[in-house]
Structure formats: structure tokens, C-alpha cells
Amino acid sequence: MFTIKHLLLIVIVLFTQCISAAQPSVLLAKVYDETKHYDVSKYLVSEKYDGVRAIWTGTEFVTRKGNIINAPSWFTAPLPNVWLDGELWTKREHFSALSGIVRTKKPNNHDWQTITYKVFDMPNENLPFSTRYKNYNELITSLNSLHISAVVQYSFTNNEQLTEYFNSITKQGGEGVMLHLASAKHSNGRSNALLKLKPYLDAEAVVIAHLPGKGKYEGMLGALRVKTAQGQIFSIGTGLSDEERSTPPEIGSTVTYRFHGLTKNGLPRFASFLRVRDSL
């Protein structure tokens, strides 16, 4: 007999399928492990842009979770009906302001004029990244649009050349570099085909409490008390701006923090607030 329970089950299944269908296939990076001996000559290397990940579906921008990014029509007009992956970006060390612009439901034309779409892939499950790079580079060049640019990929033959490039990027305020295996075909999820190399490690934790400030931070946030997915609890008191101390990340929100290795107790060493995780 067909019951309400069966009807609810069907609704749940359909809802789950709709959510899954809305989420695009996105390649995610693993952290570059300096203890491993990567053959640098097999990778194409580019700057890691600290922007908002944006997938162009051919008709609209969506986040890696499948949520729509409300970009102005003039911004998307030059983009063709093909699948592109990239970052909406303004400049180095400017993520917070950029995130505010992109999150706005009604896009502000003036603010969007400061944004560039940095394309770093033209996904195709049948083509290696070296070919995809050639394809997206030729495509973006043909568009001849000032606010749409192709991320340049470099080839290095040894670790010394990679280190020199990495140092030049980070000294200018860049977040780090990305290494993409030239022979790798596009796949969904986190993969060794894509590596991120940064001058520090970063991770995420959930805010569980606000600790009051002292001295010049009297009446403001002193530190965030956070908990990791592994159950580790610690405080983050540096890296926060005065604005963030006045209006701190909400309890229950997920934040990204940077750190430099672990203490003997397994806690992040020199943990510093980076940003509230993009919830788009």
C-alpha cells in the first residue's frame, strides 16, 4: 500500500538528487608534501590566487557547492557556452572585500569593475591538463576581454626553479603556487593531480565561543574558541582585524586559520585567523 511514509521517502530521494545535480564536478588540491620527491618537470605551475572559486557552467557562475553567483550581465556577456573553472579575484591580500562584493545578491556594477575572472581550467574528462591549458589560453585570448584572463602556467625542470618562483610570488604578497600534473585528466574531488604549496599550513575549525578582549581590546573580541573536526579545542587570538573583533564570526560558523606545524600535544602552532569560510 502506498503510504505517506513512501511519499516522504520519494521526496527525500528527489531532493537529494537535485542537490547532487546542482554541485559541479570540481577538482580540489592536496597539500604539497615536502617529504615526497615530486618530479617537478611533470607539472605545470601557476600562482595560487586568493579569490572566490567560480565555475562558469556556460550560462552562469556557480560556486563549487552549486550556488549561483550573481554577477552583472555585462561581466558574463563575453563568456562562451563552455565549462570553465577559475577564481573571481581583485588583488593580493584583498579576499575579505572581494567576498563581500561577490556575496551581494544584487550586484554592484562599480564594485564588480574591480574584479577579474582568472580562468585556470577548461574541464574535459578526456583531455590531459596540458591540452586543457592550451585550449583555455587560446579561448580567453580570443575573447579579448579586460576582466577575463587566462592563468599562466609555467614549466620547471627542477626544485630550485620552483622554489625561486614560489619565493617571488610570496614576497609580493601572493598566497602560494599550484602544481597541476600536466598528464592528468579532469576528475572530481581531491587529488594528487593538483597540489598547493603555501608558506604556511591552513585548516578549518568551528567557532564554539567568543573570549572577551583585554586592554586595547576591552569590550571587543579577544579570541575565538574553536573546535576542529578531530575534536581539538584551542583559541585563535591573532590575525583578527578591529572590525572582526567588533563583529566576530558567529558561534557555529566555520573559520579558516593558518598555522606553522603542530605542538607536542598535536595542537596547531601559532594559529592565526585567516577568514570565515566561504559559505556560498
Write out the three cell numbers for 56. Answer: 562558469
CA distances from 248 to 13, 150, 220, 224, 256 (A): 37, 36, 9, 8, 14
Handedness of CA 6, 12, 14, 20 (dihedral sign): negative
In 3D space, the residue among 30, 12, 25, 27 whose CA is nearest the CA of residue 201 turns out to be 30
| pLDDT single digits (tens) 64-87 | 889 999 999 999 999 999 999 999
| pLDDT single digits (tens) 195-217 | 999 888 889 999 999 999 999 99
| pLDDT single digits (tens) 136-160 | 999 999 999 999 999 999 999 998 9
Q: In sequence order, what DSSP letters do the residues of 185-228 get, joined into one string?
A: BP-SEEEEEEEEE-SSEEEEEEEEEEEEP-GGGTTSEEEEEEE-
Q: Are 130 and 144 in contact (CB under 8 A)?
A: no
Write out the three cell numbers for 263. Answer: 605542538
In the sheet that holds 233-236, the strands lie side by side as: 233-236, 221-227, 201-212, 254-259, 272-276
Q: Which DSSP symbol is given to 244?
A: H
Q: Which residues of the chain have pLDDT under 70?
A: 1-23, 278-280
